[in-house]
Amino acid sequence: MVRFFYLLIPTLLFTQTLTFNIRSEYPYVVSLAFYSQNREKVWPSKESVWLLKDSLTHTYTIRCNEGEIICYGAWVRNEQTQYWGVGYEGKEACSSCCYRCNGASTPIIELKNEEDLKY
């Protein structure tokens, strides 16, 4: 039992959070997920996404490993070829959509209409 306890300590000490603040100004439903660049991890999960159905700012706090790089990917619902950030399944390149897991919050990330939408 004592050995098991010591095995858990390193994992618990390096767990951190990252809070994303995201607002969609796109007129239709947008799907959203977050992708680790350091391991095979997706939030909320590989099988589900969050949906942005309005233009309010939504806050998503995820648990991640300290120092881990997390990128957001968003896409027009049921149209994965129109995206923001790293897009559907996190496969696209982006210049400013990734953040380090360090207990901080992002500025408000705005998913704008056609001018920011990638194809």
Task: Kindly report the CATH number assigned to the domain that includes residue 49.
Answer: 2.60.40
pLDDT tens digits for 21-52?
A: 999 999 999 999 999 999 999 999 999 999 99
Inform me whether the pLDDT recorded for 4 exceeds 60. Answer: no
State pTM to two decimals: 0.85
83 lies in some domain? yes
Is 25 part of a structural domain of the chain? yes
Residue 97 within a domain: yes
Residues 6+ apart with CB under 8 A from 50: 31, 32, 33, 44, 58, 60
Distance CA 54, CA 25 (A): 8
- Where does the pLDDT of residue 9 fall: very low under 50, low under 70, confident under 90, or very high at 90 and above? very low
Q: What's the number of domains the chain is made of?
A: 1
Q: For residue 45, what are the domain limits? A: 16-111
